[in-house]
Amino acid sequence: MGEAIRKLYYSKESQWENEIREGLDAFVTRHIYFEFLRLDWLKRLEQARQQEYRDIVELLPYKKVTHIPPNIQTMQGQNQNLWSHVLDILSPDEPIQKKMATYFNTEYYNRPYDAAGHTCKEIGKRRKKPKARR
């Protein structure tokens, strides 16, 4: 479907719009989660046609669709990690609140936050604390 989106960028032919629609319809047969994506993109396609395909690259960013499989894999891994490290009720060695705080402080706090590789911890330190009012 990413290829059809890119071809629509340049040709503005309805055959590519139809192929995108078919791809969106196929997503929904896989999981209901994709219904919102489908509706959003159908609206975007309609808007692109009404605007005579001006600003189509911004309106239909193909990476949003083509990156779905790796994004889902990442989210699944994060959920599995959360369940196994925090929400596992068979290991009641610590309260869930403490496990959650520890998990997020180690798992996410030290992760790269931006393209330069700064972590959330570093970004937080850079923020200026508001001065207390007198």
Q: Are residues 54 and 92 in the same domain?
A: no
Residues 64-118 pLDDT 10s: 888 877 777 888 888 888 888 777 767 677 787 787 777 777 666 666 666 666 7
- Whether residue 85 lies inside any domain: the answer is yes
* Average pLDDT of the segment spanning 2-24: 89
Do 9 and 57 contact (CB within 8 A), yes or no? Answer: yes
How many domains does one find in the chain? 2
Tokens read off for 18: 């139809």
| Mean of the per-residue pLDDT values of the chain | 80
Chain center to CA of 80: 17
Q: What share of the chain is helix, strand, coil (3-state, %, to 5)?
A: 65, 0, 30
Of 51, 66, 81, which marks where a domain is finished? Answer: 66
CA-based nearest residue to 1, from 13, 16, 11, 12: 16
Give the domain-ending residue among 66, 83, 112: 66
Looking at the structure, tell me whether residues 54 and 81 fall in a common domain: no
83 and 42 in a single domain? The answer is no
Contact (CB, 8 A) for 62 and 6? yes
> SS3 of 61, please?
coil
What pLDDT is attached to residue 43?
A: 94
DSSP H or E segment with residue 54: none
Same domain, 10 and 59: yes
CB distance 45 to 21 below 8 Å? yes
Q: Which residues of 53-79 are buried (b: 16+ CB within 10 A; e: fewer)?
A: beebeeebebeebeeeeeeeeeeeeee
